[in-house]
Amino acid sequence: MVAKLHVLVCLDGHPKSHTLVAAAKRMALELGCSWSVFYVELAYAGVGRAARKEAAVRILTEAENAGARVLQSEHFDARAATLDYINSCLNAGEVITHIIIGQHAGTISSRLFQRSTVEEIARRYGQTMRLTTIPLEGDTLPDSLFWDHFSIGSLTLRSFATSTVTVGFALFITQVMQWLLPASLERSNWANATLVFLFAVVFISLRLGLLPAMVASLLSVAAIDYFYTAPIYQFNIGQVSDLISSSIFLSVAAVVSIMGGNVRANAKTALDREERSRALYDISRLTADATNQHQILEILDREVHDLLDMDIVILLARKSDSHALDIQATDIESDFDKYPAEAALEARDLEAVAKCWNESLSSGFGTMRGMGSSWRFEVLETANNRVGVFGIKVPLKKKLDTGFGQFTSMLADQIALTIERAALVEQMNESRFREERETLRSMLLSSVSHDLKTPLASIIGSISVMRSLRKNERLTPEQEDVLTKTALEEAQRLDSFITNILSMTRIDSGDIEFSIRPNEPMKPLQRVIKSLRSRLEGRDLVIDDQSKGLPVEMDAMMTGQVLQNVIDNAVKYSPEGTPVTVSLHREDHVFRYVVRDRGMGIPTDKLDRIFDKYERLNHTDSQVAGTGLGLAIARSVMEAQGGSITVGNHPDGGAEFTLVFQIEGEEKEGDQV
C-alpha cells in the first residue's frame, strides 16, 4: 500500500491560528501532499462577538483557497473533539503523517488543558505521526470578554414582566401549598417554597438570560422574606439569611444562564446550518426547471434574498472566452453584466471583485483580501472556464459563524453549475432547433416537388396522349374533351399550390398587405365556388346563408383563399359524393363561416396541431396532394385579419372548420373617433 502523506492542522479560536495554517501549507508543499484543517469552534464562543468569528472565517477561507480540506466542529471540549476527529480519519483509512497543533501560552487553565491535548495526541499517535507544536502567544480568546460566557439576555419591559409574572406564579403555588399542608409542617413548607422559587429563577434564566433571572432572583428573595421568614408578612431586609439566599439564587441564575447560552448557541448554529443546507437545496430545486440564464438569475436573486435576508450580485463576464487575468476595477462595469442591474457596488467593492476574478479566489468580507468591502465575493467557475463573480452582501448587524465562508463558496459552486447547465440547455435547444429546421426544409422540398410534379405529370401526360392520338387521327371529340378538362384542372391545382406557397412565404416575411374593408361575406365564397367548380363535380356544396347580407370587415381576396383551402381540404378528406356544407352566421359581435364535411373527422390528438405549418409533412404518406400549407396559411391569414380559425368534429360525424371574424360594435367605433 502506498502511504499517502497527509498533514493535519488543528485549530481552535485563537486569533493567531493563521500561523498554524501557514506552517501546514508550507509543510504540505514541501512534502507534496494533501492537507486538511480541523477547526473546533468552542460552543460558548457561539455567543461571543462577531469580530472573532470573522477572523476565524477569514483563516478558514484562506486555508480552503490554499487547497486545504476544511472541517469544522462545535464542541465544549476542544481536546475530545480533536482526538475524535483524528480517530475518525484513521478509521476511514486516511493516513496522517503530520499533525500541527498550537501551544497556547494563555491562562493557567488553558495551559494545563492544552498541554494535555498535545500530550494525549503524542501518547496515542506519537509512534505513527510527527507532532509539531507551535507556540501561540496571547490569550486563548483575547478579544472575548468574560461576559461572553453568559447569556446576558436583555432587560426589556417584556422580560421584566415575564420575570415578575413567573415569580408571582411561584408565590401562588407556594401559597396553595401552605394552605393545603398542615401548620405542623411549616419548616418543610418553607424549604419547599424556596425550591419553587428557585425553579422559577432557573426557568427565567434558561428562557430569557441572566439579567431577567437576576430580577427574578431578587423578587424571589423578597417574596420569601415577606411571606416565609419570621416575622412573616413584613420585610426584614438585610438579614444574613437573605444575603445567603440571594447569593444562592444569583449563582444559580448565572450558572444556568451559561448553560442556557451554550444550548442556545448550539441550537442557533444548528439552525443556521439547517437554514443554509435548505437554502442550497431550495436553490438547486428551484433553478432546476429554469431554462435560460435570465430566469435563473431572477430565481437566485429572489431566493437568496428570501432565505438569508442578504442582497446578492452576480457579475457575468461578457465574453465567454475572457480569461484575462488583469481586469481593472474600473473595467468591471463595462466587462461584466451585472445582475441585478441596480446593485450598488462602491469603488472598494469593485476592487474586491477584480481581485476575486483575477486571482480566482474569494475576496471581500471575511477574507485576507477584504478591501474594506461589506460584500463577500466568490468566483463562479465551471469545469471549463470562469464565468463570473458572485457577491453576497453581509449586513452589518448579521451575526456570522465560521461556516459562512464554506457556505458562500458552496453557493457559488451551485450557481456556477446552474449557469453552466442553462448554457448547455440553451446550446442543445439551439442545435436541436437547427436540426429540426434542416429536416423540415428537406421534407418541405421533397413535398413541394411532389406536389408540383403530380399535377404536372397529369398535364404532360394528358397533352402527350392527345398529341399521339391526333397524330394517328384517332382523337375523338369526347376524348379531347376529357383530356383537355383534366389538363386544365390540374393546371389550376398547380396554380393554387404555387399561390399557397408564395402566400406563406410572404405572410412569413410580413411582406403582404391586407386591405380590410366592409365586404359582403358571400362575395369571396362565390369566387371560391367558381374556381373550385371542377373540384366540386359530383359533390353537393350546400350554402346556408344567415348573414342577412350585412357587410363584414375583411380582406375579401385573402379570406377567399382561406375558404378555398378549407373547402378544398373538406373535399380531399371526405368520400366522393358526400356533401360539403358552408354556413354563414351573424351574431352580435361575431361573424362565422362554418365549413363541414362528412368524412371521418380529425383524430382528437391532432386537433390542436392541424394548423401547424408542415404538419402534414410529419406523415410519410402522401395520400392527398398538398404541402400541408393550406391550413397554416388559413390560420395566418385569419389572425392577420384579427379573426381566428378553429376546428372540431361535428357530433354527427365529419370535420368542422369555423372562421371567426370580430364585428366592431358601434359604441367601440365611437370611442375610437
Partner 1 sequence: MSCLENKTILAIDDTAAIRTFLRISLMDQGVNFVEASSALEGLRMLEQHKPDVVVLDLGLPDRDGLDILPEIKRSHEGNAPIVVVLTVRNDRRTKDTAAKRGADAYMTKPFEMEDLVEVLQNQLR
What is the nearest approach in angstroms of partner 1 to the Cβ of residue 649? 20
Each residue 501-540 as x (binds partner 1 by CB under 8 A) or -, in order, gives ----------------------------------------
**Which of 175, 241, 251, 464 forms a contact with partner 1 (CB under 8 A)?**
464
Q: Which is nearer to partner 1, 340 or 461 (CB)?
A: 461
How many whole angstroms separate alpha carbon 114 and alpha carbon 102?
8
Query: Could you tell me which of 358, 362, 378, 393 has the C-alpha nearest to residue 59?
Result: 362
Would you give the distance in Å from CA 179 to the centre of its chain?
A: 64
Interface with partner 1 includes 453 (CB under 8 A)? yes
**Which of 483, 554, 558, 632 forms a contact with partner 1 (CB under 8 A)?**
483
What is the nearest approach in angstroms of partner 1 to the Cβ of residue 620? 7
- The footprint of partner 1 on this chain (CB under 8 A) covers a number of residues equal to 29
Q: Which stretch binds partner 1 (CB under 8 A): 247-255, 460-468, 502-510, 546-554?
A: 460-468
What is the nearest approach in angstroms of partner 1 to the Cβ of residue 577? 14
Pull the grid cell for residue 410.
Answer: 458552496
Q: Which is nearer to partner 1, 387 or 459 (CB)?
A: 459
Residue 517's φ and ψ, nearest 5 degrees, are -150, 165
Interface with partner 1 includes 270 (CB under 8 A)? no
How many whole angstroms separate alpha carbon 51 and alpha carbon 13?
11
Each residue 623-642 as x (binds partner 1 by CB under 8 A) or -, in order, gives xxx-----------------
Residue 603's φ and ψ, nearest 5 degrees, are -55, 140
Pull the grid cell for residue 264.
Answer: 442556545
Q: Which is nearer to partner 1, 250 or 463 (CB)?
A: 463
Interface with partner 1 includes 470 (CB under 8 A)? no
CA gyration radius, the chain: 44
**Which of 31, 465, 529, 536 forms a contact with partner 1 (CB under 8 A)?**
465
Peptide bond into 15 cis (omega under 30): no
Q: Which is nearer to partner 1, 29 or 460 (CB)?
A: 460
Q: Which is nearer to partner 1, 155 or 625 (CB)?
A: 625
**Which of 4, 432, 450, 506 forms a contact with partner 1 (CB under 8 A)?**
450
How many whole angstroms separate alpha carbon 562 and alpha carbon 508?
16
What is the nearest approach in angstroms of partner 1 to the Cβ of residue 600? 12
| Bridge partners (DSSP) listed for residue 338 | 315
At 52, is the secondary structure helix, strand, or coil? helix
What is the nearest approach in angstroms of partner 1 to the Cβ of residue 603? 16
**Which of 406, 479, 492, 499 forms a contact with partner 1 (CB under 8 A)?**
479
Q: Which is nearer to partner 1, 288 or 457 (CB)?
A: 457
* Interacting residues with partner 1 between 607 and 626 (CB under 8 A): 620-625
Q: Which is nearer to partner 1, 459 or 580 (CB)?
A: 459
Query: Could you tell me which of 591, 503, 512 has the C-alpha nearest to residue 553?
Result: 591
Q: Which stretch binds partner 1 (CB under 8 A): 256-264, 371-379, 464-472, 655-663?
A: 464-472
Report angle CA 240, 241, 245 to the nearest 5 degrees.
120
**Which of 320, 468, 505, 546 forms a contact with partner 1 (CB under 8 A)?**
468
What is the nearest approach in angstroms of partner 1 to the Cβ of residue 443? 13
Do the Cβ atoms of 416 and 382 come closer than 8 Å?
yes
Q: What string of DSSP letters covers 155-222? A: --HHHHHHHHHHHHHHHHHHHHHHHHS-GGGHHHHHHHHHHHHHHHHHHHHHHH-HHHHHHHHHHHHH
Each residue 334-373 as x (binds partner 1 by CB under 8 A) or -, in order, gives ----------------------------------------
Q: Which is nearer to partner 1, 161 or 624 (CB)?
A: 624
140: amino acid identity, one letter: T
**Which of 462, 503, 564, 641 forms a contact with partner 1 (CB under 8 A)?**
462
Interface with partner 1 includes 449 (CB under 8 A)? yes
How many whole angstroms separate alpha carbon 493 and alpha carbon 454?
10
Query: Could you tell me which of 508, 595, 517, 583 has the C-alpha nearest to residue 556?
Result: 517
Interface with partner 1 includes 490 (CB under 8 A)? yes
What is the nearest approach in angstroms of partner 1 to the Cβ of residue 479? 5
* Interacting residues with partner 1 between 166 and 205 (CB under 8 A): none
Pull the grid cell for residue 421.
Answer: 447547465
How many whole angstroms separate alpha carbon 202 and alpha carbon 195?
10
How many whole angstroms separate alpha carbon 532 and alpha carbon 571?
10
Length of the chain: 673
Query: Could you tell me which of 394, 418, 420 has the C-alpha nearest to residue 407?
Result: 394
What is the nearest approach in angstroms of partner 1 to the Cβ of residue 468? 6
Interface with partner 1 includes 597 (CB under 8 A)? no
**Which of 456, 502, 557, 600 forms a contact with partner 1 (CB under 8 A)?**
456
Would you give the distance in Å from CA 539 to the centre of its chain?
A: 60
Q: Which is nearer to partner 1, 410 or 482 (CB)?
A: 482
Which ranges constitute the DSSP H helices of 472-555? 477-508, 522-531
442543445: which residue's cell? 428
Burial of 434 (0-12, 13-18, 19+ CB in 10 A): exposed
What is the nearest approach in angstroms of partner 1 to the Cβ of residue 454? 6
**Which of 187, 319, 397, 474 forms a contact with partner 1 (CB under 8 A)?**
474
Interface with partner 1 includes 454 (CB under 8 A)? yes
Do the Cβ atoms of 316 and 423 come closer than 8 Å?
no
Interface with partner 1 includes 51 (CB under 8 A)? no
- The per-residue b/e assignment along 406-431, b for 16 or more CB within 10 angstroms, e otherwise, is bbbbbbbbbbbbbbbbbbeeeeeeee
What is the nearest approach in angstroms of partner 1 to the Cβ of residue 456? 5
What is the nearest approach in angstroms of partner 1 to the Cβ of residue 464? 4
Peptide bond into 477 cis (omega under 30): no
**Which of 218, 482, 501, 522 forms a contact with partner 1 (CB under 8 A)?**
482
476542544: which residue's cell? 78
- The neighbour count for residue 86, using CB atoms within 10 Å, is 20
Q: Could you tell me whether strands 552-554 and 590-596 are parallel, antiparallel, or unpaired per DSSP bridges? A: unpaired
Which ranges constitute the DSSP H helices of 209-239? 210-228
**Which of 370, 461, 551, 648 forms a contact with partner 1 (CB under 8 A)?**
461
Do the Cβ atoms of 386 and 347 come closer than 8 Å?
no
Q: Which is nearer to partner 1, 192 or 479 (CB)?
A: 479
Interface with partner 1 includes 319 (CB under 8 A)? no
Is the dihedral angle over the CA atoms 605, 606, 607, 612 positive or is it negative? positive
How many whole angstroms separate alpha carbon 243 and alpha carbon 280?
54
Each residue 408-447 as x (binds partner 1 by CB under 8 A) or -, in order, gives ----------------------------------------
**Which of 459, 507, 563, 638 forms a contact with partner 1 (CB under 8 A)?**
459
* Binding residues vs partner 1 (CB under 8 A): 449-450, 453-462, 464-465, 468-469, 474, 479, 482-483, 486, 489-490, 620-625
